[in-house]
Every structure is written in structure tokens, then in C-alpha cells.
Amino acid sequence: MTENTSGTAGQQPLLAIDNLNVSFITPRGTVDVVRDVSLALAPGKALALVGESGSGKTVTARTLVGLNATNARVTADRLDVLGHDATRLSERQWRGLRGKDIGYVLQDALVSLDPLRTVGQEIDEALRAHGVRGKAERQERVHTALRDAGIPDPEVRARQRSGELSGGLRQRALIAQATVLNPQLVIADEPTTALDATVQAQILELLAGLKQQGRGLIFISHDLAVVSHLADEIAVMQNGRIVESGRASEVLSNPRHEYTRQLIDAVPSAAGKGTRLSAVPRVSVTSRPTRLSAFSDAAPALEARNLVKTYASPDGTRRTVVDDVSFTVPAGKTLGIVGESGSGKSTTARIALGLTEPDAGTVTLGGLPWVGHAEGTASVLADRGVLPDHGVLVDRGERRGRRASGLTGLTGLTGLTGPAGGRRARGATAATAAATVTEDLRRPHRPDIQLVNQDPLSSFDPRFSVGRVITDALDAGAVGTPGERRDRAAALLGQVGLPLDLIERRPLTLSGGQRQRVAIARALALQPRVLLLDEPVSALDVSIQAQVLDLLADLQEQLGLSYLFISHDLGVIHHVSDDVLVLKDGRVVESGSAEAIFTTPTTDYTRALLAAVPDMPERQAAVVVPGAPSAQNEAGAGR
Amino acid sequence: MSTSSLDSLSAAPRTTATVGSAGSVILRRVAGSVFVLWAAVTLTFFVLRLTPGDPVTAILGGAGSSPSPETVAAVRAEYGLDQPVLVQYFSYLGNLVTGDFGVSYIFKVPVVEIIGPQILPTLQLAGLAMVFAWAIALAFTLLTVGRGRVLDGVGRAVEVFSASLPQFWVGIMLAVVFAVILGWFPVAGNDGFKSLVLPALSLAIPLAGFIAQVTRSSFDDALAQPFVLSARARGLSDTAVRITHALRHAILPGLTLSAWAVGSLVSSAVVAEIIFARPGLGRSLVDAIVNRDLPITLAVVFITAAVYILVNLAVDLLYRVVDPRTNPKGSAA
């Protein structure tokens, strides 16, 4: 079964594909997924397949290793893979090619390597499947493969499982298992999508190394910025067709197809705050009932002072996860928190939400003591929690009036004069006080700060309809009558740019972008003043990400919301933030205005982060005429 | 509310195994099992004592006999039944600690002598039934899961059917077909492996239906995982991927189920033991309950609880062999 096919490298193209069609036979009929795709790849070259989810990239790639689902029907005028007519290969012949001549690298190594087996066993399996006898030889080759993939201490790592490795090492191990037999063709399907920017840069470098060794590389991504440095050729796919293809520099600097332009515009790093990334129309908020709240618009929306959080490790030592973190989110502005996995971003977010008690430090929400304040100040919150008609829909004018009639006067931590009773805060250093704001005091104010997650699906009850997901939030706030809540849910869907007929659908049947919009609608249901956005676009394709970022910008502008925006993606952070906080190992490495941090970073760490961001070659901004390919001047295509 | 899933990305494996190193698990489990055994014995003791009827009547030959009051008093004193129930309870516990299960009311000999020879046949029966059940369930899973909709549907149907079969009916059918008509196995008795096959199968077939239902869904899940695709892309055949990758993931939930199943096999063994006329704990238990033979009933309950505890411990340890992620040393990162 190990027929030798590697003698022909050099001259012959690795791939020659004309008019590839792949369709799936389903009980409801035939679905065409790939249509008239033609590709060619020479040794030592990299071809990038770019497009959003569902565009047929992955199905095309799997056709090249003969691993499509059993109900797939593949036809092509020509489908030459490494000199074989792939339409005629038997399963046995395919097995001889897979792993040996074609390496296939998947997205997330945590699930793409068997979590119950060691990395070494996984690599060894490829060697055994292709008839490498001799245990010592195999072990030697496993270690070599790991070392070649840039993994230090391969002898140790080979005995670990994917769950024990960091994201970067894990992805390297995944590449090692696909390339241990030195295949001529390597197919990488979104190999960096789940990774931090610096790790992504390392993996891209490793893949570039494979290319330099003379292998052909097929690289699949939804992100043009990622492929721009690696690809020689780019094929842009949409709805199963290649809509544009050509030399990478040409496609990126002078895109001819409308869709390619959308993809390029969607890359947030290329455009600062205020630029629209997508072509979807702006949402406009027409009806805007406002909720009476003690939240002060004069004070910073969210202010954290000297947060510290430590956790006990299994071995008994204490690990400091958040170490003296302070930040301010000014009202109506966005603070971006950027950092790699494990930098303490999410713990900081949990503290800001009042879900995790910090060991020390305070959080103030719209001038209100929110987390960890001294006893005296906490009681102010209690006094404010007993507003007579809290939670009732009243209009903004009325609310203003109420505030003027006695709710102003919140001046800060020291010298607080509570409206009822004039109680004074003892001890201005709230961080040292033992007594804290309790959840009972916080709960009436929870509507003021809401959360949007990375993965909305797991935070939806799958049995709920979209409408119920949203009204559920309103039920929690006991707002209005059931009929009013349904109307409100419908209005919220409109606010986030979703059609009304989605209200009866289940979250599972929605696309990723639609789900995230529902999550935003749910967060907006209780009319929060602050949204905490934890990696809200990280699971989305670049083009969908662009739409969601635009939506968030519209909502901020029209509702005056304040955002705490957490992301590992510097491009996204650059695009959305007024101010930026860079976290590393729980400490603030750098903070300041987005402008300052992205143009004149002062620390090496920030500079390294910025250097790792895949930047797009510049393209001359042009007025896009929808549909029609427009002639464009050759822009300064810096590669 | 949306505020609950900030850390939903934690990669902790789904597991029913106890957390901790193997040594500490054994230690904690042993401490726990002493408590469980005590609770089982205590509960049984008082429940049986609180049921109406005088044990002395049972000792003296059942309701039909009419012993003289002197005899009753003498027997009551001999068995310590004239003392308060609490005193009886503590003296029973004291004896139990030294391994003394008391004297049977019916047979008038130490319980150990009656129960002792019956433990092994029952354990053999339950053990072999377990092995058969797993063999059937795994073979079935490997053959039918993910092999197209027809086979999948057939597999599902057979599983539900066999899971809903009553054990005694299976036993009778097996006896009729393989013992009476075909004559491959003895109809009854207890001599060697051959006489064990049919009773074990009669317990195994319904159990296999249960286990296969669980392994099927986890096998299905495993086959859809990206690591299966990775393995296929390395050049492994479909069969090799099923055996080396998917199967291991598939048996994890089945293991948890087995721990429960062994306990119930020991107590449901009575069905097979009666149909195939085998000696065993199950029969002794039924006889003892019918005859109000308190010491034997207590002893069987004690042994069943002990087996249950041991098997759960074994499964817990086996679990960490199959899923090394359970072991804290294995998940340092």
C-alpha cells in the first residue's frame, strides 16, 4: 500500500484541476457546494483559498485528500493530484497518498489531535500506517519531526497529550504529524484561526519554511491579512465558485471583484475607528425607552482601581492572575483590553462584572460603588437601590428630572454624601477595607452592565426561540407585561439589524453572525449603560466580524453606550478602541490612547505584539461600484 | 442571563472518575466504602426487624409449627433475641467486624458455611455476563455506527429491543434453543464453563442493549471529531481509526454504566440461577427473605454492597487508564 509516488517532484505540477464540482446528496435534494473550480499548484508555491464559511474552501481541500463525506459526489474535467487522476483513485490508493505525499493540517489542535493519546503516538501512527518498521527508527523520526516543527525538548513533548501543550506547541505538533513523512503537498485548513497574534506569526513562519523546502502549500483562511505574507497565489471563493484568482500581490493590491474588496475592507487593522468595515446599512435606533438608573453619566462609566486576584494552584502555591490592574472606561467611549491567552483578560472582565470578588481593589460603575468598596460607600449603593420605580420604563426626560431632584452629588470615593442620610464614607482607601459591596446590593443595578461572549451559542438555551432568549432577559428584569416584552424583543431585533421573522427560530439554525447579533440584542434588552464585550468577534469570519463591529459602533453612537472590549486581536482592538490597555501575565504593560499605543508603543512587549499582526499590503482607496469590476490605479503594493 | 459563561472555554474533560492520584483515590474510596457498608447493613437490619413477625417462629420451623412457650423462650435467649433491638444491633455489628455473620435461623449453621460456597458461582456468572455484554455491545457499535442510515437504524432498533427483553424470557429461550433443541450446552447445573454460558448470556443480552445505546452515541460523537479526520489524513483506514481512536472515546460513558451494572447483575443473577438451577447468592437471598432468615439476608446484602463498592473502585481506576486526562499529573498544563 506504500506505492512510491515521490519521484516526480520538481517539474510536474502538484495539482492540476479543471472545473471541479462537488455536490452533496441529501434527503432534501442535491446541494452544490463547489462549482467549476480550477486550480493549479507548482512545487515550492503556496496557494491560498480565501472566503467566508460555507464558501466551499474546506470541501475543495478535502477533495484533494479524498476525505469528503460519503454523500459527496465529485466530478471534474481534470483532477490531477500529484500526477494521479484523483477521480479514479481507490480508497486503498488514497490511503497510500494521505500522510505520505499529502499532509493535511486542521484548525484547532486541541480537537484535531486525539486528546486521549500522546502527541508522539499520533505522529508514530502516521509512520506505522506507511510501513516504517523498527521502533527505534520511528521514535527517532517522531523526535525529528517535532524538532523540525520548532518544538523544544521533543523527547518530553512526545510523551504529552495535546491538552497539556500550549496553543502554539499544539499547533506545531499538529503540523509535525502531517509532515513527518515529508509530503510534497501540504494542505492547511485555517491553521492559525484559533491562535494569538504572536503564535499565529510563528506558525505562519513555520508554514513558509515548508514552502521553502520545495513543498506545495494549500492554505485556507477567511482572513486575507493572514494569507497575504505567505501566498504566491490567491483564489477567492464565494458560494462555491472562485470569483477571483491570481498573483497574491495583484489580488490584494488591485482587487477586481466586489467580494474581494469587501474581504479586504473587512480587515479591521487596515482601518481606524470610525471607518466602516462592511457594506451593510447602518442600524438606527428609533424607539428608545430608557430605564431609571442611579448610573451617573458624568462619572466614568467603569473605573477599576488596583485590582488583584490570586488563585491557588493544585500544588499549593498561589498564582497571581490579575496583578494591580487599573483602568477607566469614559462614558460613551471604548476601552480595549488586549492580551494573549492567560494574560488575565477574562478574570479582569469577571471582576468588572462583579462575578468574581477581587482580593483587593475596587470597581466603580457609573459613579456607583460596584465591587469591593468600603462599608460606608457600599451603603450608598443600598440607598440608591431602593428607588421607588426602578426598572419601570420611563422616558429619558422624566429620568433626567428625577436625577436632578436628588440623585446627583456623587463625587467619587472620598467625601461621598449619600442622598439619604448624608452618610460619610470612612477611609478613602477602599482597597484596604474589609467590607465590600455585596451581590444583594449589586443586583438591582445589574442591568447597567451587560456581557456579550465569544460563543453566544453556549450561552443560549438551545430549546428557546430567539424571541424567548431576548424576552428571558426582560423577564429577569421584570420589565413590563409579557406583551410589552414581546414588542420590545421585536424592536431589539430591529436594532441589531436582524429581520423580524427570525424571532421564532432556534439559535442553532442561525449563522454565527446572526447569533452574535441576538446576543447583543439580549445584552441591550435591559438598556445597559456599559457593555462588556469578551472576544465578541473572535469566532467569526472576517467579513461577518466587520458587520458586527460596525453594528457595535452604530449602537455606541446612537445609545451612548460605553464598551469594555476584550480581544486578543490587535487589529480589532485598534479599530474599536479610544483607549487601550495591554495586559501580560496579569499586569498592565502599557495603557493610553489607541492612537499613542499603535503608533508609538513604549514597551518591547507591545512592539512585539504589533509586529506579529499580519498587515495588509496597502491598497488605494477607491469608490466601489457594486457589482462592476472597476479599473483601479496600481497602488503601492508593499509586500 | 448572559453573565454566566465567561470561562466556558475551560478544557477540563468530561469525566465521572474521582479527581486525584490513583493512591489518594483508593484511600478515599476505602474510607467511603466502610461507611457505605455500615449504612447498607444498618438499614437492612432495622427494616427486617421492623417488619411484623417473630424471628423465633422462623427459627422453630415457620408458622405451621406450634412450639411450647418454654422452647420459644429458650430459643429467644439462645439467639439473643430477648435483648433490646439496639443491643442486638451492636452485637451484630461487633461480630461482623470479626468476620462472624451469625448463625442461620433455618439451617442452624454459621452463615459463612452456607454463603461461602455460593459467592464464587455468582461472581463467575456476573463477571462472564459483563464480559459478554461488553463484547456484544462493542462488536455491535463497531459494526453498525456510522455505516449509513440503514445499518444505523437497524442497530438502534436491535439495541432498544434487547434492552427491553426480560432476563427470564431470554433465559428460557436460550435454554430451549441451545440446550434442549440443539443440545450444545447443558440445560442446568454447575459444572465448568459450558454450563455458565447460557445463564451468562441471558443476563448479558439485555445489558448489552443498554451499554450499546450509550457507546453508540459517544462513538458517533467521536467519529465526528476533527482528530478522526486528522488520523484519516495520516493514511489510516476507516477501521483502524474506529479501533484506535473512536473506540477509546466511546467506552468511557459505558464504563460508568458498567459500575452500576455489576452491582445489579449480582442481585439479578437470581433469575438465571433459578432458570438454570445453579447455586448462587441470588437464590440464597430469595430463599432467606421468604423464610425470614435474617442472618443470611444481611450477609447477602453485605456481600452485594461490597462487590458494588469494589467494582466502582475498579472502574474508577480503569477510567484513568482509558482517559489519562483524569490523572492530575497528566494535565499539568
Within-domain flag for B327? yes
Is residue A410 very low, low, confident or very high in pLDDT (cuts 50, 70, 90)? Answer: very low
pTM for the model: 0.72
Mean pLDDT across A337-355: 87
Domain membership of residue B207 as a residue range: 3-20+112-332
Average pLDDT, chain B: 80
Nearest to B331 among A106, A163, A446 (CB): A163
User: What whole-number distance in Å separates Cα of residue B201 and Cα of residue B187?
Assistant: 13
Is residue A560 very low, low, confident or very high in pLDDT (cuts 50, 70, 90)? Answer: confident
Q: According to the model, what pLDDT value does residue A343 have? A: 85
Cα dihedral A68, A70, A73, A79 in deg (nearest 10): 40
Least confident of A46-60, A295-309, B92-106: B92-106
With CA atoms as reference, the chain A residue closest to B237 would be A95
Chain B positions in Cβ-Cβ contact with residue A112 (cut-off 8 Å): 226-227, 229-230
At a CB cut-off of 8 Å and minimum separation 6, what does B191 contact?
none
**Top-confidence residue, B57 or A177:** A177
- CB burial readout B301-331, b (16+ within 10 A) else e: bbbbbebbbebbbebbebbbebbbbbbeebb
User: What whole-number distance in Å separates Cα of residue A451 and Cα of residue B5?
Assistant: 10
User: What whole-number distance in Å separates Cα of residue A173 and Cα of residue A112?
Assistant: 10
The number of beta carbons lying within 10 Å of the beta carbon of residue B50 is: 8
Mean pLDDT across A464-489: 80
CA distance B144 to chain A (A): 15
Look at A446 and B3 and tell me if their CB atoms are within 8 Å: yes
Q: Which triple of cell numbers denotes residue A616?
A: 495588509
Using only the alpha carbons of chain B, give its radius of gyration.
25
With CA atoms as reference, the chain A residue closest to B328 would be A314
Residues of chain B with pLDDT below 50 are: 1-13, 329-333
Least confident of A66-70, A479-483, A594-598, B161-165: A479-483
Q: According to the model, what pLDDT value does residue A401 have? A: 38
Chain B positions in Cβ-Cβ contact with residue A100 (cut-off 8 Å): 235
Q: According to the model, what pLDDT value does residue A293 have? A: 67
User: What whole-number distance in Å separates Cα of residue B65 and Cα of residue A273?
Assistant: 99
Least confident of A72-76, A622-626, B180-184: A622-626
Beta pairing partners, A245 = A235
Average pLDDT, chain A: 79
Q: According to the model, what pLDDT value does residue B2 have? A: 36
Least confident of A180-189, A286-295, A328-337: A286-295
Question: Could you report the per-residue pLDDT of B101-132, keeping only the tens digit for each?
Answer: 887 777 778 888 888 888 888 888 888 999 99
Q: How far is CA B28 from CA B17, B24, B39, B316, in A?
A: 13, 6, 17, 12
Nearest 5°: the CA angle A495, A500, A505 is 115
Is residue A186 very low, low, confident or very high in pLDDT (cuts 50, 70, 90)? Answer: very high
Cα dihedral B114, B116, B118, B121 in deg (nearest 10): -170
With CA atoms as reference, the chain B residue closest to A113 would be B227
**Top-confidence residue, A434 or A210:** A210
Q: According to the model, what pLDDT value does residue A218 have? A: 92
Mean pLDDT across A549-556: 90
Q: Is the pLDDT of residue A8 over 90?
A: no
Q: According to the model, what pLDDT value does residue A346 have? A: 85
Nearest to A349 among B6, B226, B248 (CB): B6
Q: According to the model, what pLDDT value does residue B64 have? A: 64
Chain A positions in Cβ-Cβ contact with residue B330 (cut-off 8 Å): 161, 164
Are B265 and B280 in contact, with CB atoms under 8 Å apart?
A: no
Look at B2 and A177 and tell me if their CB atoms are within 8 Å: no
CA distance B141 to chain A (A): 19
User: What whole-number distance in Å separates Cα of residue A88 and Cα of residue A15?
Assistant: 15
- 3-state SS of chain B: helix, strand, coil percent to 5? 75, 0, 25
Chain B positions in Cβ-Cβ contact with residue A346 (cut-off 8 Å): 6-7
Look at A453 and B8 and tell me if their CB atoms are within 8 Å: yes
- What does DSSP assign to residue A242? E
Within-domain flag for B88? no
Within-domain flag for B238? yes
Best of A2, A94, A125, A179 to disrupt the B interface by mutation (most B CBs within 10 Å)?
A125
Chain B positions in Cβ-Cβ contact with residue A453 (cut-off 8 Å): 2, 5-6, 8
Q: According to the model, what pLDDT value does residue A414 have? A: 33
Mean pLDDT across A534-555: 86
Q: Is the dihedral of CA A459, A463, A466, A467 positive or negative?
A: negative
- 3-state SS of chain A: helix, strand, coil percent to 5? 35, 20, 40
Is residue A579 very low, low, confident or very high in pLDDT (cuts 50, 70, 90)? Answer: very high
Are A104 and A65 in contact, with CB atoms under 8 Å apart?
A: yes
Size of interface A-B (CB pairs under 8 A): 129
Q: According to the model, what pLDDT value does residue A399 have? A: 37
Q: CATH number of the domain at B257, please.
A: 1.10.3720.10
Give me the helix-helix angle, B194-223 and B111-144, nearest 10°.
Answer: 40
Is residue A88 very low, low, confident or very high in pLDDT (cuts 50, 70, 90)? Answer: confident
Within-domain flag for B123? yes
User: What whole-number distance in Å separates Cα of residue A220 and Cα of residue A222?
Assistant: 7
Look at A476 and B225 and tell me if their CB atoms are within 8 Å: no
Look at B235 and A126 and tell me if their CB atoms are within 8 Å: yes
Where do the H-state alpha helices sit in A194-330?
197-212, 224-227, 248-253, 258-266
User: What whole-number distance in Å separates Cα of residue A119 and Cα of residue B240?
Assistant: 18
Chain B positions in Cβ-Cβ contact with residue A126 (cut-off 8 Å): 234-235
User: What whole-number distance in Å separates Cα of residue B243 and Cα of residue A372?
Assistant: 54
Helix (H, G, I), strand (E, B) or coil at A105: strand
Question: Could you report the per-residue pLDDT of A130-162, keeping only the tens digit for each?
Answer: 888 888 999 999 999 898 888 888 888 888 888
CA distance A625 to chain B (A): 40
Within-domain flag for B251? yes
Best of A62, A116, A127 to disrupt the B interface by mutation (most B CBs within 10 Å)?
A116
Q: According to the model, what pLDDT value does residue B78 have? A: 77
At a CB cut-off of 8 Å and minimum separation 6, what does B160 contact?
B209, B213
At a CB cut-off of 8 Å and minimum separation 6, what does A396 contact?
A288, A290
Q: According to the model, what pLDDT value does residue A580 have? A: 93
Q: Which of A183, A192, A266 is nearest to A227 (CA)?
A: A192
At a CB cut-off of 8 Å and minimum separation 6, what does B85 contact?
B46, B49
At a CB cut-off of 8 Å and minimum separation 6, what does B207 contact?
B129, B130, B133, B261, B265
Give the phi and the psi of residue B73 in degrees, each rounded to 5.
-65, -40
Cα dihedral A372, A308, A459, B9 in deg (nearest 10): -160
Within-domain flag for B117? yes
Look at A355 and B6 and tell me if their CB atoms are within 8 Å: yes
Within-domain flag for B125? yes
Within-domain flag for B26? no
Q: Is the dihedral of CA A476, A482, A486, A491 positive or negative?
A: negative
**DSSP result, B83-149:** S-HHHHHHHHHHHHHTT---B-TTT-SBHHHHHHHHHHHHHHHHHHHHHHHHHHHHHHHHHHTTS-H
Chain B positions in Cβ-Cβ contact with residue A108 (cut-off 8 Å): 226
Chain A positions in Cβ-Cβ contact with residue B245 (cut-off 8 Å): 114, 117
Single-letter residue type at B132: F
Look at A99 and B227 and tell me if their CB atoms are within 8 Å: no
Tally the domains of chain B: 1
Q: Which triple of cell numbers denotes residue A528?
A: 445597559
With CA atoms as reference, the chain B residue closest to A461 would be B1
Q: Quick one: which H or E segment has residue A584? A: strand A579-584
Q: Which of A393, A399, A397 is nearest to A479 (CA)?
A: A393
User: What whole-number distance in Å separates Cα of residue B132 and Cα of residue A593?
Assistant: 69
| Residues of B engaging A, defined by a Cβ cutoff of 8 Å | 1-9, 11, 13, 148, 225-227, 229-237, 240, 244-245, 248-249, 322-325, 328, 330-333
- The label of the residue with cell 497518498 reads A97
User: What whole-number distance in Å separates Cα of residue A384 and Cα of residue A379?
Assistant: 9
With CA atoms as reference, the chain A residue closest to B146 would be A70
Q: Is the pLDDT of residue A477 over 80?
A: no
Best of A110, A112, A127 to disrupt the B interface by mutation (most B CBs within 10 Å)?
A112
Q: Is the dihedral of CA A265, A269, A272, A277 positive or negative?
A: positive
Q: Which of A188, A284, A610 is nearest to A602 (CA)?
A: A610
- The label of the residue with cell 501512527 reads A125
What percent of chain A has pLDDT above 90? 15
Least confident of A448-452, A631-635, B20-24, B68-72: A631-635
